Structure formats: C-alpha cells, structure tokens
Amino acid sequence: MKINPVKGRPMLHWVGKHPIDTVSNYPAQLVEVYNVDSPEIEATYKNFLSGPNFVFQGDNKEILSTLLIQGFRGKIDLIYIDPPFASGADYVRKVALRGKKEKFEAEGHSITEQTQYTDIWANDTYLQFMYERLSLMRELLSDKGSIYLHCDSTMGHYLKLIMDEIFGKDLFRNEIIWRKYGGHKNTAKLKFTTENDTILFYSVTDKYIFNGIFRPLSEQTIKSEYKHTDENGRRYAIPRGRKYLQGTIKRVYLDSNPGVAIGNLWTEKELTIQGKDNERIGYPTQKPEALIERIIKASSNEDSIVLDCFVGSGTTAAVAEKLGRRWIIADINKGAIQTTMKRIQTCIDEPRGIAHYRVNNYDVNTELEFRPIVTQKYGVETDRKDLFFDGTLDGTLVKIVDLSRPLTRLDLQFIKDELDSRPDEARNITVLCNGSEVGIQEELDTENQRRPINKIIMRDVHLEGVTTFEPAEAEVNFKRDGQTVTITILEYISPTILDRLDIDRTVFDEHIEDFLAQIDCVLIDTDYTGEHFKIVESDVPEKKTDFVKAKYTLSLPRADARVAVKIIDMLGEETIVME
C-alpha cells in the first residue's frame, strides 16, 4: 500500500533521511481479551467498530502500518503521543514487592528496578524514527482530525519543523506550554530550572474538531459584574456602553456564560498528579489524567476514535474510556502494556471490552524468541527461500536446530540427508545449537577429517555466551466440583526477582515471608483454548500493600472447559498455568 507524500517543503535534513513510500502488513496475533465473548481474530476496522477497543504490543511503526492496511486510514479523529524525548536517560520503573514497606535488612534492597525504555539516541536516528511514524499517523487521521505531540526543549524545535513538513505550517494550531509542577524549588546552580513541557497541536484540515475549554468565572468577577437579577431570578451583567435601539439594554446572563477561554499556557494545579495517590502507578513518564482529559475533550467527540501509540502507563486509554471514546493504544514495552491492561480493568465499573494483540511476534514462546537473538548475535544472513537451511554465515550454510533442546544425532542425519539431495552444494555447514548429546563433537571431528566438502561445524550458543531467560515457577491447585472450580495458588518463585534482589533460592523464605509479595495480579480464563487468553476473572489489588487473594471459586461454562491462570509478577513477567 502506498502512502501520500508529505505536505510541506522539506525544512530539516539529516543523515539517512528518507520518506516512507509504502507500508507493509504485519500480522496481529490475538493473545488476550477482557470482557469480550466472541473476539475477532483479525484487528480490522470493521471488527473494531462493532467490537472491543484495541491494545497492541510491538514496534509502533509496524502497528501503524498494520492499522493502515486494516482499514483505519482516515478514521482517527485524535492522536496524542508522548514519545521518547531523546533526553539521554534510561527511564526506570521502580517496582516494590507487595506487603511490607521496610527494606530487606540482610541485603539492603526494598525495590527492584526495571528499565521501561532507553531514551538514548543518535540525533539523526531519532529524527528518522519520529519522521517515519508521524508520516504514518498523518495517513490515519481523518479530515476533522488533530494530533498533539508532547515534547520538551531537547528535541521540540526539530520536531516542530518535521511537523510543519508533514502536516503543513498553515495547519499548526498551538504550541501549548504545560507547567509540570504545582510548585518548583529552584535548585539549579548554573541555569534556570525547567518547569514545563511543550505540546505541539496540529490539525489535518481547517475543518477539525475543536470544543472550546473554559475556566469558570472567579467569585470576584461574578460578584462585581453579575449583580443584577431578572424577574425569574437569573443573574446577569450589563456590558458597559451596550445600549440599543428603543431603550433596550443588552443582558449577559451568568448561566449562559461558559467562562474564560483556556489559552495555551496551562498552569493549573489540577493538571499535575502530585499528591494524587489514586493516579500514581510508578511509571517514570506518567502524565496526569486531567491533562489528557483536556486534550480529549477539546479535540474529539463522543463518536471519535482516539489513538496513542506511545501509551506508557495507559493514561490516554483510561481517560478515553471514562469519557466514552473509542480508543486504540500501542507500546513496544511489555510492562507498559501490562500496566495499561490492569489500569483499564479498574478505571470504571464496566469498561468496554479489550482485545490485546501482538504485532510481528515480539513476545512468543522460548524457541521462537531465542532464534532471532541467535541470528542477530552471529550475524546470520537469513534466506527465506531456502526451506531447510536458515541462511549463510562467513560463506557457510547455516542450520539453526531446535534451541529448546540439545543437538542430537538425528538432527545431524537430517542435515546429511538434505546434502545428499544437493549434489552440487560445495559449502560447509554451520550448525547453531543449544547444547548437544555426549560425544557428538568428537564424532564430527573424526568425520570432518574424511570429508573434503560439506564439513559440519557445530557451535554451541550456550557455551559461547548466549543464555535464555529462566521462567518463573508456579504451583497451582485446581479442584473441580461439577461446573465450578476452586483455584488455589500454592507457590510462586521468580528467578528474575530473586536475581534482582540478590537472594539465593535456598534462603528465599528468610527474605520474603510470603511468596505472594512477588505477584502483581492474577488473571483467569475458565475456557482456555490455547489460541488467546480470555480474562473472565481478574484479581488486581487496589493498594500496593495488599496481596492477591490466591484462592478463587468460579463457575465453568461447561464441565469439560479447560481452566488457565495467568500470574503477572512485580517485574511484569507472565506465567500461565493450565489445569
């Protein structure tokens, strides 16, 4: 699919600058649903209109491309994004274990840290990154659509030039200055402290949605100007010098005055989250709901679709849900998606259904996840046309065997059989494996001495420094009674959490009194098919000091329904246990 060229004349140049001429479709894999009875497998515009809101995990460039292919071109009325600012910082999410607040005295740790995203870029790389994504967003916006880009002084001047090029200078509406804090201590020694961010507001046409936002009149204004009352008890003011024909006098009624129009300087204290414990969720770049609410109310209607493809902590989705808008959100970070999913489930009593998709298989099973890591580490040039070998490396053919188990003699026999069917193939073979049966290397050494061509070179990725993630261990008991099931979580150990806290598994109980302290939330599917996870019960503790219940009695849709429990720990790692 082709996309339209950018609108304005190029105003900014960087190394490697190039427009996106075409977009490709990346399959979206449905992995989880909430409050949806019959989810659609495909994330199309048609399915969205009559179905749930969409959550995507993956690279947002590929997600935006998928949305264009799937019918969302010109269908989005509002885009708000809060992308990385190229600030040169790593944003770290502070993750506390549940329960006790004091530190683990033996180790001196009370929190673990999880990097949410790294905001370190080469300048040219960052500009191309944003240029491509903003171009795709422009294609998704409707004729009455608008975009708000949240930035700061680090890259804001560059981003404005890019926005001018893509949307057109004449469609620039406002540079909004948002004061981030209700108050700020001047602690800088060599410069003024920074108290604000910038939000760039552009529209697609001159017929964009804009609902004016007004500040209530002050008590002093009401008292001094609206001092008259008519026969019906309505208060009104008489503007100065406003006498009309036949002696009539213009009246301005208080109840019809919307207030004072909000300008582009946003300094209200309610636009911060300081002190709002019900909003704080520990995400490093979290924005206040009141800020996003103002934007959504101003530039969308109740039938509008709102998009945020750098969703972070999920504020845009939560506010759009509360205001009754349809929404689509995306993020590449697993922790951001989990945070958003959890937040939406509790933001109002009955949220609309959610369909959670992964794009381009960013989070798949261990074997498929390990394979691209190995390919990238060794620099394998992949060849999708070859149905047996995976590519080439330093002039050799490469075969990546199943990385979830050791290399076997049967694997080698399959390779030899394939070579027999290719009598003209003279290249040697590199076999990438994760361990091997005893004695295989010695046999290969002996055999390779006899073979003038097609020598087989084994490389053990584990011995050469490539390691796999050690999954969490969970013990869950399922007890059925007719068409009900009682689920009890008996044990949970996260090697990742233990590693972050430098705790040896053998002394786990000395440092973590209750294993439930590691668990953030529990999700249950009472009819698990293996295709996607349908949330029918969610246990999300309201307070950080509370534990999950760990015991649940639920009705089953039928006696033979399969039950699955998804445990998400405090570092965002997911573990599914099936009956």
Q: For 97-128, how does the pLDDT look when each residue is reduced to its tens digit (9 = 90+)?
A: 777 554 433 333 334 444 444 444 567 888 89
More confident residue, 443 or 243: 443
Q: How many CA atoms lie within 13 A of 218 on its CB side?
A: 3
Identify which of 94-103, 138-147, 372-381, 569-578 has the greatest average pLDDT.
138-147
Residue 508 has what pLDDT?
Answer: 62
For residue 462, the SS3 value is coil
More confident residue, 403 or 278: 403
For the chain, report the end-to-end CA distance as a whole number of angstroms.
44
Share of the chain above pLDDT 90, in %: 40
Residues 286 and 283: their CA atoms lie apart, in Å, by: 5
More confident residue, 364 or 291: 291
> In degrees rounded to 5, what are phi and psi of residue 406?
-70, 160
- Say yes or no to pLDDT of 413 above 70: yes
Q: For the beta carbon of residue 135, count every other beta carbon within 10 angstroms.
A: 21
User: What number is the average pLDDT over the span 290-311?
Assistant: 96
Q: What is the pLDDT of residues 319-347, one digit of tens each?
A: 999 999 999 999 987 778 888 888 898 88
Question: What is the pTM (predicted TM-score) of this model?
Answer: 0.67
Q: How many CA atoms lie within 13 A of 374 on its CB side?
A: 30
What CATH architecture does domain 473-578 belong to?
Answer: Sandwich (2.60)
| Two structure tokens written together for 155 | 């890259």
- Say yes or no to pLDDT of 171 above 80: yes
Residue 106 has what pLDDT?
Answer: 30
When pLDDT is cut at 50, 70 and 90, the band that residue 274 belongs to is: low
Q: In what order do the strands lie in the sheet with 172-179?
A: 265-266, 172-179, 196-203, 141-151, 76-81, 305-308, 326-331, 53-57, 354-359, 28-34, 533-535
Residues 493 and 508: their CA atoms lie apart, in Å, by: 9
Q: What is the pLDDT of residues 187-217, one digit of tens each?
A: 656 788 888 999 999 999 999 999 998 988 8
Q: Which residues contact 188 (CB under 8 A, 6 or more apart)?
A: none
- In the chain, ranges of CATH 2.60.40 domains: 473-578
User: What number is the average pLDDT over the span 469-474?
Assistant: 76
- Say yes or no to pLDDT of 526 above 80: yes
> Which of 277-286, 412-421, 479-488, 527-536 is least confident?
277-286
The chain-wide mean pLDDT, for the chain, equals 83
From the candidate CATH numbers 3.40.50.2300, 3.30.1180.20, 3.40.50.150, 3.50.50.60, the one assigned to the domain spanning 28-86+121-183+192-213+263-359: 3.40.50.150
Pick the closest to residue 535 from 387, 405, 346 (CA basis).
346
When pLDDT is cut at 50, 70 and 90, the band that residue 256 belongs to is: confident
Share of the chain above pLDDT 70, in %: 82
Give 22's DSSP letter: B
Residue 85 has what pLDDT?
Answer: 66
Please give the single-letter amino acid code of residue 86.
Answer: A
- In the chain, ranges of CATH 3.40.50.150 domains: 28-86+121-183+192-213+263-359
Residues 376 and 382: their CA atoms lie apart, in Å, by: 10
Element at 353 (helix H, strand E): none
Percent composition of the chain: helix, strand, coil (DSSP 3-state, to 5): 25, 30, 45
- Say yes or no to pLDDT of 74 above 60: yes
User: Strand 429-433 relative to strand 574-578: parallel, antiparallel, unpaired?
Assistant: unpaired
By the 8 A CB rule, do 493 and 473 touch?
yes
Residue 472 has what pLDDT?
Answer: 83
Residues 15 and 361: their CA atoms lie apart, in Å, by: 30
Q: What is the pLDDT of residues 34-67, one digit of tens each?
A: 998 888 888 999 999 999 999 998 889 989 999 9
Residue 89 has what pLDDT?
Answer: 46
When pLDDT is cut at 50, 70 and 90, the band that residue 362 belongs to is: very low
| Two structure tokens written together for 418 | 């394939």
Residues 11 and 164: their CA atoms lie apart, in Å, by: 8
